């Protein structure tokens, strides 16, 4: 165990966690919504520090990040736990484990060992992913400090529910983030995730203020967030508040966990959503979970030619030259393209 960051002590041995926007007030002997931060005698402790439940070497495209070191490898890790309760979680076996089965498991791997493994396997970044990195913030923080000292970049794949205090605490160690903007209606967040929309929007704007490279993902679930007006609202928010150069990934839903009644998202819905994003001025809109779709490729926003060719998470060809289109010299936004 490790004493938590970003909490305050209250009366009667209660504590208030200020790591995510739930801002849980936790009684002595109890845990927060995430299930992995526990009040012991008026002190808050992380129960998952140095205990990854999953470690893998992934292509950075799997995060998905298409404009951040394309073609590179990212050492990926996660602990159990999450501060959301998404009915459609694809990693519910580990994210919901502390609540569903009352267990906390994981190997003992120090931050130093994580960084050494990233070096060993020639990974140019470390991704805190699969579950929610906010809930193992102390582990991600200590690892992130060592990663930067070794010239390795840090990536969060997140639901975006961390507080501004958490983002400021991690600054300037976060280099890139893919944030799930799951919907643009508060009802969706409340009913399907156990959260609220506004904190996610605030996080996205704060990350842009901090010059973190940001990409956004929306999983389209038929009957829940597939209204084209809502998707247009998302596209407009990204274009106006984050910038038209911000990539938007639109992913296909497959029934899972507690949401098995909704059907698979039609390919035509994904393709229409992509068109909406482009209509609203976004330069880079991508189809997710549709291998072979034209929407996987990066097109120059100027001449519309393919500058990065992809199939799934694989790069078939990258023609970007010094951050620009080789045909018309239009800048292609991103990091180390």
The pLDDT tens digits for 258-293 are 999 999 999 999 999 999 999 999 999 999 999 999
pTM above 0.95, yes or no: yes
pLDDT score of 134: 98
Examine residue 168 and state whether it is found in any structural domain, yes or no: no
Q: What is the CA radius of gyration of the chain?
A: 20
pLDDT score of 329: 98
pLDDT score of 132: 98
Reported as a single tens digit per residue, the pLDDT across 155-207 is 999 999 999 999 999 999 999 999 999 999 999 999 999 999 999 999 999 99
Cβ-contact 282, 239 below 8 angstroms: yes
In whole angstroms, what is the distance from residue 7 CA to residue 315 CA? Answer: 43
Examine residue 22 and state whether it is found in any structural domain, yes or no: yes
DSSP reduced 3-state for 331: strand
Examine residue 299 and state whether it is found in any structural domain, yes or no: no
Encoded tokens for 136 = 């193992």
Burial string for 302-311 (b: 16+ CB within 10 Å, else e) reads beeeebbebe
Nearest to 266, CA basis, from 223, 296, 232, 299 = 223
Bridge-based pairing state of the strands 176-180 and 213-220: parallel
pLDDT score of 1: 87
pLDDT score of 312: 93
Examine residue 34 and state whether it is found in any structural domain, yes or no: yes
Examine residue 10 and state whether it is found in any structural domain, yes or no: yes
Count of domains forming the chain: 1
Examine residue 332 and state whether it is found in any structural domain, yes or no: no
Cβ-contact 108, 32 below 8 angstroms: no
Examine residue 92 and state whether it is found in any structural domain, yes or no: no
Examine residue 203 and state whether it is found in any structural domain, yes or no: no
DSSP reduced 3-state for 276: helix
Domain assignment of residue 30, given as a range: 2-46
- Which regions in the chain score pLDDT beneath 70? none
Q: Identify the residue whose tokens are 């992934």.
A: 58
DSSP reduced 3-state for 277: helix
Encoded tokens for 173 = 């160690």
Bridge-based pairing state of the strands 37-40 and 43-46: antiparallel
């Amino acid at each position: 165990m490790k004493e938590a960051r970003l909490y305050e002590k209250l009366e009667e041995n209660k504590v208030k966690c200020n790591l995510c926007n739930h801002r849980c007030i936790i009684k002595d002997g109890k845990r927060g919504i995430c299930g992995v931060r526990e009040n012991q005698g008026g002190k808050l402790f992380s129960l998952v520090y140095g205990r990854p439940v999953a470690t893998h070497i992934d292509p950075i495209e799997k995060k998905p990040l298409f404009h951040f070191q394309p073609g590179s490898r990212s050492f990926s890790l996660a602990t159990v736990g999450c501060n959301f309760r998404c009915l459609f979680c694809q990693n519910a076996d580990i994210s919901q484990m502390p609540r569903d089965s009352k267990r906390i498991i994981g190997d003992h791997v120090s931050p130093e060992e994580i960084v050494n493994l990233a070096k060993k396997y020639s990974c140019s970044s470390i991704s805190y992913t699969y579950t929610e990195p906010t809930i193992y913030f102390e582990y991600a923080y200590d690892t992130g400090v060592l990663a930067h000292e070794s010239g390795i970049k840090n990536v969060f794949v997140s639901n975006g529910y961390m507080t501004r205090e958490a983002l400021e605490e991690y600054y300037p160690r976060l280099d890139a983030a893919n944030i799930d903007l799951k919907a643009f209606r508060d009802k969706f967040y409340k009913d399907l995730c156990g959260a609220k929309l506004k904190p996610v929007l605030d996080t996205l704007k704060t990350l842009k203020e901090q010059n973190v490279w940001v990409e956004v993902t929306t999983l389209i679930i038929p009957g829940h967030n597939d209204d084209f007006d809502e998707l247009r609202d998302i596209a407009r928010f990204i274009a106006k508040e984050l910038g038209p150069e911000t990539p938007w990934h639109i992913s296909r839903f497959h029934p899972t966990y507690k949401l098995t009644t909704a059907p698979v998202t039609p390919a035509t819905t994904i393709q229409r959503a992509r068109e909406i994003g482009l209509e609203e001025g976004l330069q880079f809109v991508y189809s997710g979970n549709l291998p072979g779709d034209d929407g996987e490729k990066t097109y120059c926003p100027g001449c519309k030619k393919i500058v990065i060719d992809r199939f799934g998470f694989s790069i078939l060809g990258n023609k970007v030259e010094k951050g620009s289109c080789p045909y018309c010299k239009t800048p292609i936004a991103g990091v180390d393209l």
